[in-house]
Amino acid sequence: MGVKRMQRAKLAAAYLLLALAAALGWLYSCLPDRVYLEPGQALYLPRFAWVEPQRGHGSRNVASTRAVGSYQTTLTLGGWLPIKTIRAVVTERPRVTVCGTPFGVKMFSEGALIVGFSEIGQADGGTSNPAKEAGLRLGDRVICIGQTRTESNDAVKEALDAAEGQSVEVVYIRSGEQKLTTLTPVWDGATGQWRAGMWVRDSSAGVGTLTFADEELGVFAGLGHPISDSDTGESVALRSGEIVSCEITGCSAGTAGSPGELKGHFLSAHAIGTIRINGENGVYGTTRTHFSGQLREIAFAQEVVTGPAEIWATIEGETPRAYRIQIERVSDADPRRNLVIRVTDPSLLSATGGIVQGMSGSPILQNGRLVGAVTHVLVNDPTRGYGIFAQTMLEQAKNAVQNDAEAQIAE
């Protein structure tokens, strides 16, 4: 009997150690790799109250650091069991102009995006499709046909005309990789022109919400997700783009399985900003004018917690309103989906059903600080959606300044 008890005890201990290892692994993955602090601010993680910097001499404790800089520190359980070594960046807390206003986007892609195919009738009664026969697919981005760079729909037509039915090399991008194929245009007697059997698009336009502007840096940030082609879902590769003033004229409410949408029109052809980045975390660029809004501090990512908050959204005209929401979940693991939010404001629920397309980029505020921006709606529940940290967007906005400087040097 004693031997069996000993075996059971060992088995229980093994399971306990396995469970502990799994728990520590989960905690490791949940903890951020980097935190930001103001000079003199103690390192405290509200979402992980039991985690604190290592005590003693094992690591520099940034809780007492007052100098601006970047330091390593080890996070522990109870100050003694090491979990993860992270980097703490001590910096002045940023302040930005929080907007929530609508803006129109006009963007030209790098290359011609294939958005569809059509069969071409032949004299013998059959059909052909040179683009498909060349191995091209929906979502491929054609950047060169023969000697012609295809930066517009007209350039594609000119390249096909120049080939006059002869085989030409086609350079295209698929999933970020440059590829090469050969295409032979055919004559379309019905339209009287050389064709490849593919529909292409060289530009996109739409409506979104401006999250913030940094007057000191001269940059803006919006959407919280990339501008994608409506037919293919592919992110538009930016060649050039600008934002213009916009007015919201109506809204189709969202229902389960059918996301709603804000409707608007551009107020002017005059650009108020130049797009420099169409990235996974939003649209960023340099400003050409002053943006209206309120100057607010940005919350560092580790300061964002579940609980009451608000979004600033414009569902009519040009002026945003604050609406109550609940932050249901906060995560550092996914760089694009840091927050799960739920709309609780009766007036917004009555007007839109919750979150609709066009509200992407709406600022999220908690305790008076900008904590993030709305990015997506949950299709099966329009009252809920995702958000991204404002801190992440500010870091991307700073990259837009660098891109602007490089563009000016190139010019």
Active-site annotation, residues: 225, 345, 360
Burial 322-357 (b: 16+ CB within 10 A, else e): ebebebeebebeeebbbbbbbbbbeebeebbbbbbb
Max CA pair span of the chain: 95
Q: Are 292 and 79 in contact (CB under 8 A)?
A: no
How far apart are the C-alpha atoms of 124 and 122, rounded to whole Å?
5
Q: Are 374 and 341 in contact (CB under 8 A)?
A: yes
Q: Are strands 282-287 and 219-222 parallel, antiparallel or unpaired?
A: antiparallel
Q: At 23, which amino acid appears? A: A
Q: Give yes or no for a contact between 317 and 247, defined as CB atoms under 8 angstroms apart.
A: yes
Of 298, 282, 357, 294, the C-alpha closest to 321 is 294
Q: Which secondary-structure segment (H or E) carries 302?
A: none
Q: How far is CA 381 from the centre of its chain?
A: 21
Phi-psi region of 173 (alpha: psi -120 to 50; beta: other; left: phi over 0): beta
318-to-185, 209, 302, 387 alpha-carbon distances in Å:
48, 10, 32, 22
Torsion of CA 112, 113, 116, 122, to 10 degrees: 30
- C-alpha 269/C-alpha 141 separation (Å) is 27
Helix (H, G, I), strand (E, B) or coil at 263: strand
CB 259 within 8 A of CB 316: no
Cβ-contact 136, 172 below 8 angstroms: yes
